[in-house]
Amino acid sequence: MSDFPKLFIPGPTHVSDDILQSLSTPQIGHRTPEISDLIDYLTKGIQEILYTNNDVYLVSHAATGLWEMGTKNSVKKGVLHAVNGAFSSKWALSSELSGFYTERIDFNWGNGIDVKELDKYLSTGKFDVFAMVHNETSTGAMSDLNAISDLLKEKYPDIIWLVDAVSSMAGVKIEVDSLGIDFLLSSTQKAWGLPAGFSICSVSKRLIEVSSKIDNKGYFLDLHTYRKYYLKSQTPTTPSIPHMFGLKKMIEKIKFEGLENRWKRHIEMAKYTREWAFAHNQSLFTDKNALSYTLTCIDNVQNWDINKINDILLSKGLRMDRGYGKFKGKAFRIPHMGNIYMDDLKEYLKVFNEVLCQI
Ligand code: PLP
């Protein structure tokens, strides 16, 4: 058994040995042909995974910084935030603290985004940007991007659309170009199955245009800083090269598995987990119309002693999730993304079953 428990928390997720090994590839210079070859490979791979021809920027910091990259480069009039959990709420806070005219549409935590409500807010004409979290990791609620895309295309084609896909990118099919997403962002510690501290975003041509008309964006988060180096297959600052080698390994694994197989597998793992919960007479915390494919949030109606389960699982080398923030003990999450495959999930739930017999 490793010195550290295997992670069954929704981020950082478990990193498998092959990925860990790829992180220790020797360093290469960040202004060399070697890095440009690597970046070209990563960019093309990510564009395929996201079904996009948009620019793809590789960023050596947490996704939270990309929230501000998205808004700094787009908001002139005002930004509307859909808030249905902890992360979407924090993103709205980041816009408020940045001094943008910000409004929140609040939905029950556990629900997805209601398109009719969204329509009402956008129809006020107060906003030029709409920001949302696709997959609320705090509650396991995944919103319907197709429905939102239809609304924006039909009634609000000028709205810039920013989407946080931190716990869905690479685990759920997101067809960026056909949906028309201007800015899609993720960090690597969830469905990408890599360590934290590295992020990815895709950026539409029209967002790059909009950004060029905005002043005082500073340097570090200006999309044009990234674009200048992107065109040379480099990054503006010295990047986290281990992450880049890890990402290359992950893209190879994704290609080997096949995109459609990958999306299908995540859906199957989600179904398996839900069935497991129902078989134990537990309920799902998340609204049935917004169930995530990458994590399942279980309403602990059976009042299981989550701390006790956690202790026993830990003694068996497994780290469970005990619930996000205020839901601790009441609603716990089971992740099925990144390097968690069906066999890992089945094994985890089997051990979980054994633990349940002991409490
Ligand atoms: N957005 C979502 C949906 C998340 O789940 C998280 C982290 O859990 C974040 C944003 C923040 O990501 P990072 O820690 O990389 O800034």
Given a cut of 90, is residue 210 above it in pLDDT? yes
What is the reported pTM?
Answer: 0.98
Cα(91) to centroid(ligand 1), Å? 10
**Measured from the CB, is residue 64 less than 6 Å from ligand 1?**
yes
Q: Determine contact, residues 224/212, Cβ cutoff 8 Å.
A: yes
**Given a cut of 80, is residue 124 above it in pLDDT?**
yes
pLDDT over 90 at 79, yes or no: yes
For 103, the enclosing helix (H) or strand (E) is: strand 102-106
15-34 residue pLDDT tens: 999 999 999 999 999 999 99
Q: Which residues contact 343 (CB under 8 A, 6 or more apart)?
A: none
Mean pLDDT across the stretch 243-248?
Answer: 98
Report which protein residue has its CA nearest ligand 1's atom 12. Answer: 63
Q: What angle do CA 336, 340, 344 make, to 5 degrees?
A: 105
Radius of gyration of the chain (CA): 20
How do residues 86-96 score in pLDDT, each as one tens digit?
A: 999 999 999 99
Q: In Å, how far from its chain's centre is CA 147? A: 19
Tens of pLDDT, residue by residue over 160-186, are 999 999 999 999 999 999 999 999 999
Give the nearest ligand 1 atom to 138 CA.
5
- Asked if 6-14+258-356 and 17-255 have one fold, the answer is no
For residue 84 and ligand 1, the question of a CB distance below 6 A is answered with no
Q: Does 284 contact ligand 1 (Cβ within 6 A)?
A: no
Residue of 7, 58, 59, 64 to test ligand 1 pocket, by largest number of atoms within 8 Å of CB: 64
The mean pLDDT of 39-46, rounded to a whole number, is 98
- Split at pLDDT 50, 70, 90, the class of 359 is confident
Hey, where are the domains in the chain? 6-14+258-356, 17-255
93 alpha carbon – ligand 1 mean position (Å) = 14
Q: Give the DSSP H/E element, type plus range, for residue 262.
A: helix 259-279
180 lines ligand 1 (CB under 6 A): no
Q: Is 17-255 a domain of CATH 3.30.565.60?
A: no
Mean pLDDT of 272-276: 98
pLDDT at 1 over 80: no
Q: Does 63 sit in the ligand 1 pocket, CB within 6 Å?
A: yes
Spacing, Cα 197 to ligand 1 middle (Å): 10
Query: What's the CATH number of domain 6-14+258-356, 2.40.50.660, 3.90.1150.10, 3.30.365.10, 3.30.70.3290?
Result: 3.90.1150.10
Of 141, 162, 196, 1, the C-alpha closest to 67 is: 162
For residue 2, what pLDDT is reported? 79
Question: Rounded distance, CA 243 to CA 20, Å?
Answer: 10
* Mutate-to-test residue for ligand 1 from 13, 58, 69, 137, highest number of ligand atoms within 8 A of CB: 137
- For the chain, what is the mean pLDDT? 98
* Mean pLDDT value of segment 2-11: 95
Q: Using CA atoms of 263, 182, 189, 291 in order, give the dihedral in degrees to the nearest 10.
A: -50
Q: Which atom of ligand 1 is nearest to the CA of 133?
A: 3
Number of H helices, E strands in the chain: 13, 14
Nearest CA to ligand 1 atom 8: 11
CA of 195 to the centre of ligand 1 (A): 13
The verdict on the CB of residue 133 being under 6 Å from ligand 1 is yes
Distance CA 274, CA 128 (A): 38
**Ligand 1 pocket member 131 (CB < 6 A):** no
Query: Average of pLDDT values for 78-90?
Result: 98
Tell whether ligand 1 has an atom less than 6 A from the beta carbon of residue 162: no
Q: Could you tell me the two tokens for 60?
A: 């050596």
Q: Is the CB of 89 under 6 A from ligand 1?
A: no
